[in-house]
Amino acid sequence: MPLKPRPNPDVLGHRRLFGVLGPSTNTVVQPDFDDLRVPGVTNHYSRIVVDDAQAISDETFMAGTLEISRNTVEAVRGVLTCNPDYLVMGMSAVTFYGGAEGAAKWRENIEKEAGVSLCTGSQSLIEAFNAYGGIKRIAVISPYYPSANAQVAHFMADHGIEVVRDTCLQCPSWTAIAQVPTSTLREELKKLDGDDVDALVQVGTNLSMVKFAAAAELWLGKPVIAINTATYWNALRQNGIMDRKQGFGRLMEEF
């Protein structure tokens, strides 16, 4: 769709101002989205305040993500003061909860509060699958715990996508997610890959994979989709911005 010009364009964000919502403990989304940014689009990060949860378990992981969900509206109110054109969710877990229906309802509630459209990671993955074409069976890597991975599988099933196998890294704190080394990601992708999956998918926005996923596509010979890449790509495309960007995988380079 063609971009509607702003009546009084921002000098730097003359194409679009993106309001980015992310947990206060997240140190990956902000630099990732800035790396993915294209000329004339600017990102304005609003932190969803949450304590750095420690000694996470399956139950406390879910409770912690729901706390982030509850605090999202306050972050929305903060970023709206810069008059963004569009909102981008930099936290993925809660955008899968409750399957397709629950995810849609969650997004709609935020959009109603904001009066501005919101891009979520879960829906962005579905858009990415459609762009690549032929993706029906996936393997998933996450920093989550099993209960959250089950929510991802539920959401995917509602969209006709089968999660063949998955890995939960079960990071011990929110900030520890950003400390997972590339060597661990490499070994886990090798375990997840197989002829029975069409694509490898990473969820959990504080897990740094935008550049590694692009490299992994080359040696695995199939789509490797990082959640931050998919989300920002979809935000651009939903706003009619079709710029390609090199170095971040086929999604940003071809579609």
pLDDT in tens, 209-249: 999 999 999 999 999 999 999 999 999 999 999 999 999 99
Mean pLDDT of the chain: 94
What SS3 class is residue 96? coil
Share of the chain above pLDDT 70, in %: 97
Q: State the CATH architecture for 124-227.
A: 3-Layer(aba) Sandwich (3.40)
- For residue 2, pLDDT over 90 is answered with no
In this structure, are residues 227 and 92 in contact, taking their beta carbons and an 8 Å threshold?
yes
- For residue 1, pLDDT over 50 is answered with no
Q: What residue ranges of the chain are covered by domains with CATH 3.40.50.12500? A: 16-121+229-248, 124-227
pLDDT at 5: 67
CA neighbor of 208 nearest in space, from 9, 33, 11: 33
In this structure, are residues 17 and 10 in contact, taking their beta carbons and an 8 Å threshold?
yes
Q: State the CATH architecture for 16-121+229-248.
A: 3-Layer(aba) Sandwich (3.40)
Cα atoms in the Cβ-side hemisphere of radius 13 Å centred on 47: 8
- For residue 64, pLDDT over 70 is answered with yes
Q: How far apart are CA 78 and CA 45, in angstroms?
A: 10
pLDDT in tens, 81-126: 999 999 999 999 999 999 999 999 999 999 999 999 999 999 999 9
